[in-house]
Chains A and B, each alone.
Chain A
Amino acid sequence: MKTENQKAWFFVLPVLLLVAFNALIPMMTVVNYSVQETFGDNVFFWQGLDWFQQILRSDRFHAALGRQFMFTFLILIIEVPLGIAIALSMPRQGFWVPVCLVLMALPMLIPWNVVGAMWNIFTLPDIGLLGYFLNHTLGLNYDMTQDPVAAWVTIVTMDVWHWTSLVVLLSYAGLVSIPDAYYQAAKIDGASNWSVFRYIQLPKMKTVLTIAILLRFMDSFNIYTEPFVLTGGGPGNSTTLLSIDLVKIALGQFDLGPAAAMSLIYFAITLLVSWLFYTLMTKDDQN
Chain B
Amino acid sequence: MAKITLSKLRHSYMPNPKSDSDYALKEIDLDWNDGGAYALLGPSGCGKSTLLNIISGLLVPSEGQILFDGQDVTELPPDQRNIAQVFQFPVIYDTMTVYDNLAFPLRNRGRDEKTVKRRVMAIAEMLEVTDMLTTRASNLSPDNKQKISMGRGLVREDVNVVMFDEPLTVIDPHLKWKLRSKLKELHQRVKATMIYVTHDQTEALTFADQVVVMQLGEVVQIGTPVELFDRPAHTFVGHFIGSPGMNILPCTVTEGVAEIEGQPVALEGPVSGMCAGKTEIGIRPEFVTLSTEAAARTAAKGLAATVTKVSDVGRHTVVECDCLGHRVNAVTDGGAPEKGASVHLEFRRDQTRLYVDGWLATQPEHLT
Q: Which residue numbers of A lie inside 8 Å of B, CB to CB?
A: 179, 181-182, 184-185, 187-192, 195, 199-200, 203-204
Contacts and interface: CB of A to CB of B under 8 A. Distances in A.
A187 B87 contact: no
A204 B85 CA distance: 21
B93 interface: yes
B96 A188 contact: no
A199 to B, nearest CB: 5
Nearest to B83: A188
Interface string B65-100: 000000000000111000111011101011110000
B108 A185 contact: no
Given A185-B149, A199-B93, A191 B85 contact: no
Contacts of A189: 79, 104-105, 108, 152
B77 A185 contact: no
A190 B83 CA distance: 11
Contacts of A191: 104, 108
B89 A192 contact: no
B109 interface: yes
A231 B109 CA distance: 55
A181 B94 contact: no
11 contacts: A181-B87, A181-B91, A182-B91, A184-B87, A185-B87, A188-B56, A188-B105, A189-B79, A190-B108, A199-B93, A203-B94
B104 A187 contact: no
Contacts of A181: 87-89, 91
A187 B152 CA distance: 12
Contacts of B78: 184, 187-188
A209 to B, nearest CB: 14
Nearest to B80: A190
A200 B87 contact: no
Contacts of A203: 93-95
A199 B91 contact: no
Nearest to B58: A184
Q: Is the interface of B mostly helix, strand, loop or mixed?
A: mixed
Given A187-B77, A192-B108, A199 B88 contact: no
Most chain B CB atoms below 10 A, which of A179, A185, A188, A195: A188
Contacts of B108: 189-192, 195
Nearest to B152: A189
B89 A188 contact: no
A199 B92 CA distance: 10
The 3 closest A-B pairs by CB, nearest first: A190-B108, A181-B87, A185-B91
Contacts of B87: 181, 184-185
A4 B148 CA distance: 49
B195 to A, nearest CB: 14
Interface in B97-114: 104-105, 108-109
Contacts of A188: 56, 78-79, 83-85, 105, 153
Given A184-B58, A189-B105, A190-B108, A200 B93 contact: yes
Q: Is the interface of A mostly helix, strand, loop or mixed?
A: helix
B154 to A, nearest CB: 12
Contacts of B77: 187
Nearest to B79: A190
Nearest to A182: B91
Contacts of A179: 89
A42 B96 CA distance: 64
A189 B78 CA distance: 9
Nearest to A199: B93
A60 B79 CA distance: 61
A207 B56 CA distance: 32
Contacts of B93: 199-200, 203
A187 B84 CA distance: 10
B96 A184 contact: no
A179 B149 CA distance: 15
A200 B93 CA distance: 7
Most chain A CB atoms below 10 A, which of B79, B84, B91, B152: B91
Contact of B95 (A182, A187, A192, A199): A199
Contacts of A190: 79, 105, 108-109
B27 to A, nearest CB: 25
A244 B77 CA distance: 57
A204 B91 CA distance: 12
Interface in B103-147: 104-105, 108-109
A188 B96 CA distance: 18
Nearest to A202: B95
A181 B88 CA distance: 8
Contacts of B79: 187-190
Nearest to A191: B108
Given A181-B87, A181-B89, A199-B94, 13 more contacts: A184-B58, A188-B56, A189-B79, A189-B104, A189-B105, A189-B108, A190-B79, A190-B109, A191-B108, A192-B108, A199-B93, A203-B95, A204-B94
Nearest to A192: B108
Contacts of B153: 188
A92 to B, nearest CB: 15
A192 B109 CA distance: 10
A178 B58 CA distance: 17
A181 B52 CA distance: 13
A192 B77 CA distance: 13
A189 B86 CA distance: 11
A10 B104 CA distance: 57
A187 B91 contact: no
B96 A187 contact: no
B231 to A, nearest CB: 37
